[in-house]
Every structure is written in structure tokens, then in C-alpha cells.
Amino acid sequence: MITENYVTLEFPAVPENVEFARTVVACFASQIDSFTLEEIDDVKLVVSEAVSNTVLHSYGVSRGIVRLSAVRNGDVLRVTIEDFGKGIADVEQAKEPAFTTDPDRMGMGFTIMEALSDELHVSSVPGEGVKVEIRKSPRGTAKSSEEPET
């Protein structure tokens, strides 16, 4: 049984692809046997929030690309979601709860992502895009923070 694997894909930043992205990552994450179903649901929610942010905010009226990669290294899952849009001028401000002007939005996307990830890193260069990196391991993994040497 392999313990290292990866998947990389690109797709247009459209609402129809949000479900596709989270389902792909959930299927990939399920290769880590010690993930519980609840933890797989957590991964789905984190990916859905990240891809939704890209669809909503990155490209404006034009349509761009989302690049998604998921890497399994032992019991560690790393997911990267990247776009090449307008970027975020102030990442810390964007991560603040309820930072939205839309009455039909929660402004809780980053809060949810942080709560459900072991690590969440958001980086951006204005005009070049946003990169969201997530790390998640099964809670029952004794040494979840330690990855096997390759």
C-alpha cells in the first residue's frame, strides 16, 4: 500500500466547480485510512471555503484558473489552492471574522478554515494572486506533525 501520493488539477473559477474540488480532495483524503468521516467532512468544508473565496473574489467579471494540489505524505495531507487573480492587499484583515459587506455572506470563511485545519497559511501578492496552504492529519495519529522521511 502506498503512503505517498499526489493529485494536481486546474479548473475555471466558477461556482459549479466548488463541489467538484471538495469532492476530489475528499476522495483523495480518504486514502489516509485513519481519517474519520468527520475529518473528511472537515477537509471538504475547508476546500469549499477556499475555492469559494477564489471564485468570489479573485477575478472579478473575468474568469480565471484555480490550481489545486493535494499531497499525501504518510498520514499528513497538504492541500494547496492557488489563483492568479487580483490578490489580497491585506491578508490579515481579510482573515478577520465577519469581514464582508454582503448581507448574504458570513465573512467566516477563513475562521472556519483555521478552526478545521492543523495549519493554514495564506499568502498573496496584489496583482498576482492568492495561495492558500492547508495541512491536516488525523487526530488519532500519535505523531501527526512528523512526516516520514522520503
Kindly list the residues in this chain that would bind other proteins in the complex (CB under 8 A): 15-16, 18-19, 22, 38, 41, 44-45, 48-49, 52, 55-56, 97, 102-109, 111-112, 115-116
Q: Is residue 4 flagged as an active site residue?
A: no
CB of 150 to other proteins, least distance (A): 33
Q: How far, in Å, CA of 24 to CA of 51, rounded? A: 12
Task: Choose between 48 and 124: whose C-beta lies nearer to other proteins.
Answer: 48
3-state SS, 79-114, equals EEEEECCCCCCCHHHHCCCCCCCCCCCCCCHHHHHH
CB of 144 to other proteins, least distance (A): 20
By the 8 A CB rule, do 7 and 24 touch? yes
Cell 467579471 belongs to 61
SS3 category, 10: strand
Task: Choose between 49 and 75: whose C-beta lies nearer to other proteins.
Answer: 49
Task: Choose between 105 and 143: whose C-beta lies nearer to other proteins.
Answer: 105
Active site (catalytic) residues: 49, 53, 105
